[in-house]
C-alpha cells in the first residue's frame, strides 16, 4: 500500500528537518481576529495534529499555510525562507499540498482526470499541447492499485468511490506530485470507523515516507493514534502545545472537551 | 491492505454507468434521430438534400455560439449577453466604418476587440465580485441591448444600420463570413463549415487538452480545482471571452450576409444557446457535458424550427416544443448527475 508514498516521496527529506515554521502567526478579517499568536512547527517524518472545536481557527490556519489567505501578523517560514503565500499554486510549488475534507476531488470527473488535475501530462508545446491521456490513465490506474484501491473503470466519475477512497486518492495524488508537506483538513470527519482506519494508516504511511504532515481534526482519539505533536486551538489562540511524550490521550480529550470549563459545567449540572 | 475492493457483483454496474456518463450526448442523439425521422414522415418537402443543408445552416447560426455557451456552462457559468452580442458586434463594425469611412476590416478588428473586452468584463466582474454570472450578464445584456438601439439611432437616425456593401473590404469579408457554394442541388453556407470547425476544436479541447480538464474542474468544483493549483479565474474569464468571440463571429456573418442589421434583434437568442447546450446533455450546474452534445442540441433546434414550417404548421408551436425538450433534457441530466455523485456504500 505504501509503495506510492515511499516511491514518490522526496528523497531529500531528512527526518526531523524543519519544513514549515509558524511563529506568532495571526490573521484578521477586517476587525475580526480569527487567529493570533500561533506557533506551529512541521518537521519531516512527523505528524503535527491541530485540534480544536468549530470556530477555533483551524481552517484559518490551514488557509494561511496552503496559500488561500495570507497571514496578517507573525512569520511563516518555509525551508528556512520567510514567505507570504498568495495562492495555492505558490504553496504547491513549495511542496505544500492540502487535502480538504469535502473539496478533495471533483466528483463528476473521471478518476484519472482527478488524479492529474492541475498537474496534467502534456505532450508538445502550447497551444496545441494535447494531454498524454493513455499515460495518464495507465499511471493513475497503477498508482491506485498499489494503494489497494481497485476501481472497476478508471473512467468512472470519482464521485462513485467511497469517501475514504476519495481521501486516499487525494493524498496519494499530492504525494505523487512531490508534496513535502501534507495538510489534511478533517480527513476522517465524515467517515465511518473502518474508512477512518484506512485514512489513518495512510497518514502513518506518509509520515514514514518522510513527509511532514499537518493533521487537522476534532477527534483526539484519531489524533493520538498517529500524532507526534499536538496543538489545541481555542478562539483563535493556542491553549496546548505538547509533544507526544508529554501529554496523554486523557489530557487531549479533556482539553478538547473544554477542560476547566467542562469541570465547571459538570459542577453546575451535578445531579442530586 | 484492501479498500473496499469491488466484488464481481458490483463490478458490472459502475462500468455501464461510467460508459453511459462518459457520453452526455447520447440522449440528445436519440432525440435528434427521432425528430429527424418524424419530420421525414410528416413533411414531404423536408426530404431533400437542399432542405437538409438549409437545416444545417439554420443550426449553424445558433450552433456556433451554442458551442461556446456549452463550454461556459460546463465551466459553471452563464452568459445572458450572448444573445445580443452578435448584433453589438455587427453594429460596431458597420457604424464605425460607415461613420468614419474606413475599410471594413478595420471595423471588424475593432469589433472583435470590443467583444473580447465585453467578455473579459463579464468574467472579471463575476470572478471579482462573486455575484452569480446570471446577474452580471443580465446586466451586460440590458446594457448592450439598450446601447445597440440608442447608439444606432444617434448615428443613423433609425433602428437599423446603414447599408455597408459599397465600403472597401466588403467582398473579402463576405467571403470569409457569409459566402456559400452549391453542392448538387443544395446551397451550403460557409457558416456550416465554420460551425463544424468550432465544434471539432471545442470537442478536442475538452477531451484532450489540459485546458479541457480545467474547464470540467472549475465547473464541477471550483474550490477543489483551486486547491490543486488550477487557474480558476483565468479559465473562467477565458470561457466568457470564448463566448463573446463566437458571438462576434456570428455577428460578422449576419452583417455581411444582410448588409444591414436591425438594432433590436438578438433578444431571446441567449436562451436558445442555453437550451441547445442543455438538450445536448450539459448540466445547468456545471461540470458535465460536451461539445458534440451542444452541436446536436443546435441541430435539433434547426431541424424543428424549419421542420414545423415544412410541415405547414403554425410556427408558433416551435417555442412550445422547445420548452418540452428543455424540460425533458433537464430531467434526464439531473438523473444522470444523481447517479454520478452517489458514492458507493463502503
Domain residue spans of chain A: 3-108+178-268
Three-state DSSP state, A241: strand
Q: Taking the CA atoms of chain B, what radius of gyration do you get in angstroms?
A: 21
Question: How many residue pairs bridge chain A and chain B with CB atoms within 8 Å of each other?
Answer: 150
Per the model's pLDDT, the better-predicted residue between A4 and A121 turns out to be: A121
- A61 vs chain B: nearest CA distance in angstroms? 15
Residue located via cell numbers 453589438: B88
CATH code that applies to domain A3-108+178-268: 3.40.50.300
Distance from C-alpha of B206 to C-alpha of B200, rounded to nearest angstrom:
10
- pLDDT of B8 reads 38
- pLDDT of A199 reads 84
State the Cα angle at A157 between A154 and A159, rounded to 5°. 125
Query: Which triple of cell numbers denotes residue A190?
Result: 465524515
Three-state DSSP state, B29: helix
Please judge whether A164 and B3 are an interchain contact, meaning their C-beta atoms are less than 8 angstroms apart: yes
Q: What is the mean pLDDT of residues A115-139?
A: 83
**Residue of chain A whose alpha carbon sits nearest to that of B223:** A103
**Angle of helix B210-220 relative to helix B49-74, nearest 10 degrees?**
70
CB of A202 within 8 Å of a chain B CB? The answer is no
Distance from C-alpha of B40 to C-alpha of B18, rounded to nearest angstrom:
34
* List of chain A residues whose C-beta atoms are within 8 Å of the C-beta of residue B4: 162, 164-165
Picking from A89, A117, A159, the nearest residue to B343 by CB comes out as A159
Averaged pLDDT of chain A:
83
Please judge whether A106 and B6 are an interchain contact, meaning their C-beta atoms are less than 8 angstroms apart: no
Residue B44: inside a domain, yes or no?
no
Distances (CA, A) of B202 to A136, A201, B66, B221: 21, 43, 11, 21
Picking from B10, B209, B220, the nearest residue to A106 by CB comes out as B220
Picking from A103, A130, A195, the nearest residue to B223 by CB comes out as A103
What total of structural domains would you count in chain B? 1
Please judge whether A107 and B340 are an interchain contact, meaning their C-beta atoms are less than 8 angstroms apart: yes
Query: Which triple of cell numbers denotes residue B56?
Result: 444545417
Candidates B201, B204, B229: best to mutate against A (most CBs of A within 10 A) is: B229
Q: What are phi and psi of B102, to 5 degrees?
A: -105, 165
The CATH number assigned to the domain holding B301 equals 1.10.3470
Query: Which class for B341: exposed (0-12), middle (13-18), buried (19 or more C-beta within 10 A)?
Result: middle
Please judge whether B344 and A1 are an interchain contact, meaning their C-beta atoms are less than 8 angstroms apart: no
Instruction: Give 3-state DSSP helix, strand, coil % of chain B, rounded to 5.
Output: 75, 5, 25
Question: A122: which residues sit within 8 A by CB, 6+ positions away?
Answer: A129, A130, A131, A132, B210
Picking from A109, A153, A161, the nearest residue to B220 by CB comes out as A109
Residue B38: inside a domain, yes or no?
no
Residue located via cell numbers 456559400: B180
Picking from A98, A110, A162, the nearest residue to B227 by CB comes out as A98
**Which range marks the domain in which residue B271 is found?**
51-336
Please judge whether B18 and A110 are an interchain contact, meaning their C-beta atoms are less than 8 angstroms apart: yes
Distance from C-alpha of B211 to C-alpha of B218, rounded to nearest angstrom:
10
Among A107-121, A146-160, B81-95, which is the least confidently predicted range?
A146-160
A:33-52 residues touching chain B, CB 8 A cutoff:
none
**Residue of chain A whose alpha carbon sits nearest to that of B9:** A152
Per the model's pLDDT, the better-predicted residue between A192 and A224 turns out to be: A224
Please judge whether A107 and B220 are an interchain contact, meaning their C-beta atoms are less than 8 angstroms apart: yes
Residue B41: inside a domain, yes or no?
no
Distance from C-alpha of A184 to C-alpha of A108, rounded to nearest angstrom:
22
Residue B45 per-residue DSSP state: G
Residue B97: inside a domain, yes or no?
yes
Query: Which triple of cell numbers denotes residue B149?
Result: 438601439
CB of A108 within 8 Å of a chain B CB? The answer is yes
- A108 vs chain B: nearest CA distance in angstroms? 6
Please judge whether B227 and A88 are an interchain contact, meaning their C-beta atoms are less than 8 angstroms apart: yes
Q: What is the mean pLDDT of residues A24-41?
A: 87
pLDDT at A172 over 50: yes
- Interface confidence, given as ipTM, is 0.81
* List of chain A residues whose C-beta atoms are within 8 Å of the C-beta of residue B225: 106, 117-118
Per the model's pLDDT, the better-predicted residue between A12 and A81 turns out to be: A81
Three-state DSSP state, B137: helix
Per the model's pLDDT, the better-predicted residue between A220 and B91 turns out to be: B91
Residues (pLDDT < 50) of chain B are: 1-15, 18, 343-346
Three-state DSSP state, A128: coil
Give per-residue pLDDT as tens, A229-266.
Answer: 899 888 888 888 888 888 888 888 887 776 667 777 77
Please judge whether A106 and B287 are an interchain contact, meaning their C-beta atoms are less than 8 angstroms apart: yes
Please judge whether A107 and B288 are an interchain contact, meaning their C-beta atoms are less than 8 angstroms apart: no
Please judge whether A92 and B229 are an interchain contact, meaning their C-beta atoms are less than 8 angstroms apart: yes
Amino acid at each position: 500500500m505504501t509503495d506510492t508514498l515511499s516511491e514518490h516521496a522526496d528523497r531529500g527529506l531528512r527526518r526531523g528537518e524543519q519544513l514549515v515554521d509558524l511563529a506568532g502567526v495571526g490573521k484578521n478579517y477586517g476587525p475580526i481576529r480569527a487567529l493570533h499568536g500561533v506557533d506551529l512547527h512541521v518537521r519531516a517524518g512527523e505528524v503535527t495534529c491541530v485540534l480544536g472545536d468549530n470556530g477555533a481557527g483551524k481552517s484559518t490556519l490551514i488557509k494561511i499555510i496552503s496559500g488561500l489567505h495570507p497571514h496578517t501578523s507573525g512569520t511563516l517560514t518555509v525551508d528556512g525562507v520567510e514567505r507570504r503565500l498568495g495562492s495555492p499554486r505558490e504553496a504547491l510549488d513549495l511542496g505544500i499540498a492540502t487535502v480538504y475534507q469535502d473539496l478533495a476531488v471533483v466528483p463528476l470527473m473521471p478518476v484519472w482526470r482527478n488524479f492529474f488535475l492541475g498537474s496534467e501530462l502534456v505532450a508538445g508545446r502550447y497551444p496545441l499541447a494535447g494531454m498524454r491521456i493513455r499515460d495518464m490513465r495507465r499511471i493513475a490506474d497503477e498508482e491506485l492499485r498499489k494503494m489497494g484501491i481497485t476501481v472497476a473503470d478508471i473512467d468512472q466519475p470519482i464521485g462513485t468511490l467511497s469517501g475514504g477512497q476519495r481521501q486516499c486518492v487525494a493524498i496519494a495524488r499530492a504525494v505523487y506530485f512531490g508534496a513535502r508537506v501534507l495538510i489534511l483538513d478533517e480527513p476522517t470527519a465524515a467517515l465511518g470507523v473502518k474508512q477512518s482506519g484506512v485514512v489513518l494508516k495512510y497518514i502513518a504511511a506518509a509520515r514514514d515516507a518522510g513527509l511532514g504532515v499537518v493533521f487537522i481534526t476534532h477527534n483526539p482519539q484519531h489524533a493520538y493514534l498517529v500524532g507526534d505533536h499536538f496543538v489545541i486551538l481555542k478562539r483563535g489562540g493556542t491553549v496546548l502545545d505538547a509533544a507526544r511524550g508529554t501529554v496523554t490521550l486523557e489530557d487531549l480529550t479533556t482539553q478538547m472537551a473544554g477542560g476547566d470549563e467542562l469541570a465547571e459545567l459538570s459542577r453546575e449540572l451535578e445531579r442530586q | 491492505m484492501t479498500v473496499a475492493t469491488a466484488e464481481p457483483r458490483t463490478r458490472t454496474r459502475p462500468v455501464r454507468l461510467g460508459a453511459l456518463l462518459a457520453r452526455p450526448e447520447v440522449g440528445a442523439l436519440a432525440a435528434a434521430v427521432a425528430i429527424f425521422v418524424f419530420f421525414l414522415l410528416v413533411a414531404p418537402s423536408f426530404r431533400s438534400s437542399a432542405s437538409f443543408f438549409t437545416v444545417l445552416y439554420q443550426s449553424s447560426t445558433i450552433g456556433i455560439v451554442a458551442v461556446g455557451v456549452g463550454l461556459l456552462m460546463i465551466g459553471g457559468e452563464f452568459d445572458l449577453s450572448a444573445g445580443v452580442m452578435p448584433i453589438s458586434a455587427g453594429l460596431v463594425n458597420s457604424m464605425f466604418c460607415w461613420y468614419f469611412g474606413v475599410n471594413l476590416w478595420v471595423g471588424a478588428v475593432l469589433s472583435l476587440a470590443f467583444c473580447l473586452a465585453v467578455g473579459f468584463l463579464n468574467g472579471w466582474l463575476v470572478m471579482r465580485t462573486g455575484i452569480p454570472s446570471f446577474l452580471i450578464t443580465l446586466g451586460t445584456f440590458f446594457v448592450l441591448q439598450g446601447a445597440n438601439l440608442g447608439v444606432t439611432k444617434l448615428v443613423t437616425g433609425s433602428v437599423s444600420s446603414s447599408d455597408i456593401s459599397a465600403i472597401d473590404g466588403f467582398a473579402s469579408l463576405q467571403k470569409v463570413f457569409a459566402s456559400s457554394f452549391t453542392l448538387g442541388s443544395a446551397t451550403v453556407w460557409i457558416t456550416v463549415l465554420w460551425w463544424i470547425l468550432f465544434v471539432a476544436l471545442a470537442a478536442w479541447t475538452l477531451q484532450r487538452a489540459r485546458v479541457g480538464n480545467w474547464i470540467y474542474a472549475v465547473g464541477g468544483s471550483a474550490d477543489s480545482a483551486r486547491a490543486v493549483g488550477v487557474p480558476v479565474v483565468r479559465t473562467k474569464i477565458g470561457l466568457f471571452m470564448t463566448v463573446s468571440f463566437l458571438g462576434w463571429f456570428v455577428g460578422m456573418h449576419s452583417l455581411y450576409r444582410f448588409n444591414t442589421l436591425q438594432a433590436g434583434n438578438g433578444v431571446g437568442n441567449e436562451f436558445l444557446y442555453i437550451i441547445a447546450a442543455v438538450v445536448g446533455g450539459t448540466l445547468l450546474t456545471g461540470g458535465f457535458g460536451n461539445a458534440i452534445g451542444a452541436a446536436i442540441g443546435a441541430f435539433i433546434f434547426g431541424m424543428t424550427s424549419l421542420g414545423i414550417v415544412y410541415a405547414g404548421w403554425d410556427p408558433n408551436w416551435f417555442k412550445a416544443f422547445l420548452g418540452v425538450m428543455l424540460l425533458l433534457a433537464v430531467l434526464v441530466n439531473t438523473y444522470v448527475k444523481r447517479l454520478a455523485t452517489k458514492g458507493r456504500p463502503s
